[in-house]
Amino acid sequence: MISLLARQFRARPWPTLLLALTVALLSFVAALIPRMAAELDDRQLERSLATVSAVQGDVSALWTTYRIAAPGAADLWGGPREATELIRAAQPEPLRSLLQPAQFVGKQPVSAAWRAPEGSPYFGVKADILLDPDLPDHAVLIDGAWPEIDDDDSPFQIAIVDKFAERAQLEAGDEVAPGLVVTAVFRPLDGDDTRWEHIPYGRGYAEASDADRGLQLLGGVFVAPGLAAGDPSARLQSPFSYDVFFGLDSGAVASRRIDVSTLGAQLTGLLAKRHSPVVPGDGGANDPATFEGNQPISFHSDLNVLLTRLNAQQRTTHTLVGVSAVGPIGVGVALVALGAQLVVHRRRSATALLSARGTSPRQLRGLLAAEGIVFGLPAALVGLLLAGVVVPGPTAWWGWLACLAIGVLPAAALSWSAGSGQRGRREIASGKGRWRLVTEVLIGIAAAGATWRLLSTRGAQGSGVDLLGAAAPVLLALLACLIVLRLYPAPLRLLLGFFARGRGFTGFMGAARALREPAGGVVPVVTIVLGTTLSVTAAALLGTIAVGTERAVWADNGSTVHISGPRFSDETAQQLRGVDGVEAVALVRLASDNSALKIGADEARVRVWLADAELVDAYAAARDGSPLPAGLFDQASPVPVVLGGSGTRTSGAGTLADVGDVTVAGHLGVLPGVTDETAWALVATENWPGDSLPPAKTALIAAAPGTDLAALTAELSDIVPQARITTVEAELRELRESPTVAGLSAIFITLTIVTAVLMMLAIFTAQVMTADDRRAAAAVLRTLGLRPRQLRTLTAWELGPVVVVALLLGAAVGIGIAALMLATVDFRALTGGSLDPALYLDPLWIGGVGVGLLLAAALAVALSSWFAGRTNIAQELRLGEER
């Protein structure tokens, strides 16, 4: 038996090799997608940790003590450093590697102040008294020498950063105030080091505005680190308050397959405990543990907020990847079943001979199953190893298990195909048996139940792949397959009746053959519909995410350029308007943080924002134009207002505190560039009662098209040096280069290519299965005068209509599934906006997927038609006589 099947394989090896190729592709996809998703998670985590501010992300605590060691100790900071290192070392991985060694920054509760020199734009200078034991390691000395402690009553030696020294007109040797003398001017080695976020006056200065006196310069002076052991002169009456912080090392968690929820739980455990900042000694007089003020400390961090948001983002990402991956995996499984039928079909003469010689059906199925294992397991292993080459990394235990399952899939498919027998062709809508009806009803109920459950659990928290989110689209796609199989014969019968009235033999014969079951059964229909549906779903969602991200950036920035920070005077606004490339400058003012608003019977507390009419021009630069109603800036009574946020009315008239009678001119979800979902009211500046206006701290600038925004930002920074300036262009570039968008795009493109290849193989395999019948019919028709071109058209008719119907219905269902997922899955974690993104059908994504799948199907049908047109009439007729 084995030798006979071996001869059959050597005679026609390509059906078995095609089956092995399908298994390798299926194993490759099943192994590659989890690796790409895990790599995406790692890059998301690394980027998020690298971009979070130190104040929000670092694990820090406040520790107050008069001295950290005995005066004159050789290593003042040995105890605290060892104690914090023990705290860090006690944490589990990956939290331990994420935390850098602790650093300490001390601050006196009393600041130093002195008058500014003559000719200075400041009326005075105010400086925090700081102590940084690691300052010499993170700064370069420009002038003077680092501060030291004198035993007498001489002034405290201080070090100041060069920018502060320049603004305060100080240099080494200057006595700035009684008891303070500058001995060192330094510059940070790395101004972008996150440690300076804990010590902002270590790399710069600030300015404070006083309505009566003008500007005041703010900075910091660094005293000698030895004062941490106590002030010998006893002039410091208050203890230092130390900011003890663990910086984050985002590179330490790269490519480590870290679970965000596990990291969050570890961080929560660290923050929930109280820790000692010093190592207990022997209890002597100089024991740091006996010093006054050495109480346990509690760490705090806002990193869990980021991890929670990242967990939600990864959950949405996993759902999208899972839905996208089910398409090619489902197509691959269907193709394995179809390939097994092709192998059995090609071995029918050998299997008939074996059966005639007494081989039982059980033995025959076992023999074919053994062949499937011999070719399937190595092919699955090749696919797994190839995935490891494309995306390096360890393979999880379930990856090997999945590889084994895929490797034995051909054996199961071959055994089942051999036992089921080769059925003849029949009408596609036939098979009205109860089992088909029961299967269709069960799939319909499952799809409806999964969809309802998905709709009822919107916003549910969790980690990993949302099983409902992955199951509902697949069930709906299968339901679409059933619809195709049920509805497909109707238009074909109409075409058959049309061609039967003498309007073309080729069309009549093609419609008649197409009305019968498609070549290879329903498997090609399933592959086309399933692959098209889920590919279009992924394309629609990616287009929606891209546009939703762009809209979220515009909503956050408000206009081309967003400036926030200091107070903007009218003179500053005029300077901004005079910069080349600036078309409009709108100042936004916060008039009230909690004003009473009454519209009809409803009352609410709202924030009141003021803006001038140029806000419309600033918003006009946005993607969707200005959302403000034109009547907002009319000077009328009652005063028109725009309301937004939660708990506000969309229409009506009422009263607003400090404004009077108002009428609702419009309602917005958010006020771009200004506020979020908090209830708010926008009023025109001209309609604000009184002569005095609150200060403006936000400016929205619309730039002219084609303006160099980098150069424009530099000019604006010269006018408002202490302001925070962001541009939509930079924000969008950063988001488009983010791991989420780039990673999802790479995964989607990979899956679409694999789906197209598998779909081509499925169509081609289905055509090959009926090639014998087609050639026999073609030989007879050729003797009756049918030309090769007509024969090719006839072959294309056999599967062409069902391909077109399946593609069209698959695209429609895919768009519907995308809309369903947008209604049930929180995509705000990916777009970054506060409002749910609306469905957007990107012509590039949707059109690219549609054209790609259509070309793949057309190529497969065209190849089958071309081969059919090359039928050898004499050979086929001779074979027919022998049969």
Q: What is the pLDDT of residue 428?
A: 43
Q: Within 10 Å of residue 491's Cβ, how many Cβ atoms?
A: 12
Q: Detail the DSSP E strand segments found in 270-392.
A: 274-275, 297-298
Which residue in this structure is represented by tokens 């084609």? 706
Enter the tokens of residue 354.
């074996």
Residues 315, 462 contacting (CB under 8 angstroms): yes
Question: Is the full-model pTM beyond 0.85?
Answer: no
Cβ neighbors of 274 (< 8 A, separation 6 or more) are 296, 297, 298
CA distances (Å), origin 154, targets 180, 719, 827: 9, 42, 63
Residue 66 DSSP class: S
Point out the residues of the chain with pLDDT beneath 50. Answer: 282-293, 422-431, 461-465, 520, 879-883
Q: pLDDT tens digits, residue range 741-764?
A: 778 878 888 887 887 788 777 777
**Hey, is 345 helix, strand or coil?**
helix
Q: pLDDT tens digits, residue range 689-740?
A: 877 788 888 888 898 888 888 888 888 888 887 788 888 888 888 777 777 7
Q: What is the pLDDT of residue 316?
A: 79
Q: What is the pLDDT of residue 131?
A: 93
Cβ neighbors of 511 (< 8 A, separation 6 or more) are 492, 495, 496, 499, 797
Residues 660, 546 contacting (CB under 8 angstroms): no
Enter the tokens of residue 706.
């084609």
CA distances (Å), origin 536, targets 26, 467, 528: 20, 20, 12
CA distances (Å), origin 236, targets 228, 373, 760: 11, 82, 82
